Chain A
Amino acid sequence: MTLAFLNLSWPVFANGLEFGGIYALMAVGIGLVFGVLRLVNFAYGQLIMAGGFALAYGSQWNFPNWASILFCFGVVLGLSLVMDRLVFRPLRTHSPAVMLVATFAVAFVLQNIAQLSFGTFGKSAGALAFLNSPWDLGGVEVKKIAVIAVVTAAVCLVALQLLLTRTSLGLHMRAASMDFRTAQLLGVRANRVIAGAVIISAVFAAIAAVMLSVEQLQVTSTFGLSDTIFVLAGVVLGGLNRPIPATLGGFSIGFATGILGGALPSSQSQYLPSILFAAVIVVLLVRPNGLFTRGGGAVQRV
């Protein structure tokens, strides 16, 4: 069997699926905002970090789990709406490169606010740790969180696909991501579409925060940072502009890091980021629209 051939155990495989699911959600979150705003959000990881701290406070104040999770959603949503209003909206007319630098700045500001408020060691979010215990699925033991991550990601992505294809908001969002100005001329309301993308992207960030906090119980100011950097690579690999390619890109990065991290000796797996980012460069050069897209439109000329 292939699994045996690759020297993989089922837990490692499940770990790959789990990270694939979480990263796919994050990738779509980043991709949706890119679609309407042409903005690559470096600060996405800090939204997840904020969600992590919300969960940590939830468990400190002995909230029931559902309330902690709700609190996490509220914090992430609020923060991303504020970010959109204060930073993204004034910069909307600037070039994508300027917006990229701006989100880089926002990411650092948020990370250092967290560092200032919660110190270097951060806070512990232990309430959901029980999800690390295994379920027995037909003789194979799989961590509960792995199953939950895969199912949640699948449900969310199907729901998103339905929203994009079956509702008028989805239609507007797709139109805006193809050609924002023409869409506006045809009556698509810019602020409504952007708010929609920002909110959905924040919801996915909150879900990712909840699931990552199960793996990483100590929430610090760098919570979610390296995950976001990986996901950014994955989104570029898959294709930034469309949800399905972004999903595939995010999933494959998560799956690959989950599996290779468990299967390779650390002397090799420590170089995973290099291989990943080398692939990003190659894709940017060879297929700037991403691996999982069919030939994009012609390059704009003067």
Chain B
Amino acid sequence: MSALRRAPELLVPALLVLGTALFALQVSSYLQAYFLDTLVKVAIVVALYVFIGNSGVLSFGHVSFVALGAWTAGVLTVPADQKSAIMPGLAHFLLHTNVGNLASLALAAAVGAVAAFVVGLPLMRLSGLAAGIATFAVLEITNNVLTYDQSIGPGENAFSSVPQTTGIWQAAVGALICIAVAFLYRTSRYGRMLRATREDPAAAAAVGISIYRQRLLAFAISGGLAGLAGGIYVHLLPLTAAGLHLDLTFITLAMLVVGGSGSLLGAVVGALALNGLYSFFSAATNGVDLLGWNLTVPQGTAELVLGTLMALVLIARPGGLSGGRELSLPRRRVRLEA
């Protein structure tokens, strides 16, 4: 397996993201907002892929790490003189701590990774349905605490006054970092060991792979990437706890499922394509011009389209559009005679 042959696995997703970013620079600032949003979604979906794709275990809980990252980066960057007005209940320690943009993103990633590690310590013993429900429980708990605990953030209110430092480049670099980490993990021995447990848990355990440890490592890495994505997100929009709950979980899972959860390319393509569709139908609630024909759709159409697509893909092509395959150069044929 030469490094050259594997290069497209990294380069194609990275070029897709770069292309999206370059295209976004050409369009109006109104449209640019949708591209920025798409780049953040790519980062979240790639984070999901690192765990779900490699382990084959379902997680409904990753949006909680996105939310924790957003809260971390948000709380630490709201200007000191506005903090007490926006977040009156904020803990003393947070009220007087401020960091810059990059430091806040690094901390968001760290908080995401640590939270995922801690949550994963007990949860990574579960798989299948139990894992799905337990990670869903994590999502509910995180959302519940972030919504009501005003000592760590704005509670039910929107995260206003966070400096909007996420532009095209910050969003694109964030997505690229996620892709690079996902690629490095995927091709590392740890990634291979985890995929071995996905294909055949009993055989993997028999050759000495600890399913629990490999899952925990992937969960922590993907939690860190999700935290980073959350940090980038909060520097883009005034987020609310309600916006980082079921809807985002559903949308990002739909992107992963439709793209194909088994491959990095599938995750990136799924995120780009579905968020394109989603943005189009969201914009169409205010009317869009489609080849000279004005299209206006009611609110909820975007979710409806995504949900239908997701159900159809699950029924007709459970491997997703990519079928779990990566793009790589053809292998020079070496046949072993039996």
Cβ B138 vs Cβ A101 within 8 A: no
Which of A9-17, A86-94, A158-166, A197-205 touches B? Answer: A86-94
Residues of B within 8 A of A38 (CB): 129
A190 at the interface (CB under 8 A from B): no
Cβ B311 vs Cβ A87 within 8 A: yes
B168 at the interface (CB under 8 A from A): no
Interface positions, chain B 249-266, Cβ under 8 Å from A, are 250, 253-254, 257
Q: Which residue of B lies closest to A91 (CB)?
A: B315
B63 at the interface (CB under 8 A from A): no
B330 at the interface (CB under 8 A from A): no
Residues of A within 8 A of B141 (CB): 273-274, 277-278
Interface positions, chain B 294-337, Cβ under 8 Å from A, are 298-301, 303-304, 306-308, 310-311, 314-315, 318
Cβ A98 vs Cβ B137 within 8 A: no
B118 at the interface (CB under 8 A from A): no
Instruction: Answer whether A284 and B144 are a contact pair too, CB < 8 Å, given A108-B307, A112-B303.
Output: no
CB distance from B211 to the nearest CB of A (A): 13
Which of B12-20, B80-88, B119-127, B182-190 touches A? Answer: B119-127
Instruction: Answer whether A271 and B303 are a contact pair too, CB < 8 Å, given A101-B314, A104-B250, A278-B137.
Output: no
Cβ B314 vs Cβ A285 within 8 A: no
Q: Which residue of B lies closest to A222 (CB)?
A: B246
B148 at the interface (CB under 8 A from A): yes
Cβ A102 vs Cβ B314 within 8 A: yes
CA distance A116 to B301 in the complex (A): 7
Set B130, B306, B308: member contacting A284, Cβ < 8 A: B130
State the interface size on chain A (CB cutoff 8 A): 42
Which of A128-136, A145-153, A228-236, A254-262 touches B? Answer: A228-236
Interface positions, chain B 127-147, Cβ under 8 Å from A, are 128-134, 136-138, 140-141, 144-145
CB distance from A300 to the nearest CB of B (A): 11
State the interface size on chain B (CB cutoff 8 A): 41
Cβ B133 vs Cβ A232 within 8 A: yes
CA distance A98 to B134 in the complex (A): 15
Instruction: Answer whether A273 and B129 are a contact pair too, CB < 8 Å, given A104-B250, A106-B311, A116-B300.
Output: no
Instruction: Answer whether A277 and B140 are a contact pair too, CB < 8 Å, given A95-B128, A97-B132.
Output: yes
CB distance from B61 to the nearest CB of A (A): 10
A115 at the interface (CB under 8 A from B): yes
CA distance A90 to B303 in the complex (A): 22
17 A-B pairs with C-beta separation under 8 A: A38-B129, A96-B128, A100-B132, A102-B314, A105-B308, A106-B311, A108-B303, A109-B303, A109-B311, A116-B301, A232-B136, A270-B144, A277-B140, A277-B141, A278-B141, A284-B126, A301-B202
Q: A residues touching B (Cβ–Cβ < 8 Å)?
A: 38, 40, 87, 90-91, 94-98, 100-102, 104-106, 108-109, 111-113, 115-116, 120, 221, 229, 232-233, 236, 270-271, 273-274, 277-278, 280-281, 284-285, 288, 301-302
> Which 7 A/B pairs are nearest by Cβ-Cβ distance?
A115-B300, A109-B307, A277-B137, A112-B300, A108-B307, A302-B202, A112-B304
Q: B residues touching A (Cβ–Cβ < 8 Å)?
A: 57-58, 60, 122-123, 125-126, 128-134, 136-138, 140-141, 144-145, 148, 202, 250, 253-254, 257, 298-301, 303-304, 306-308, 310-311, 314-315, 318
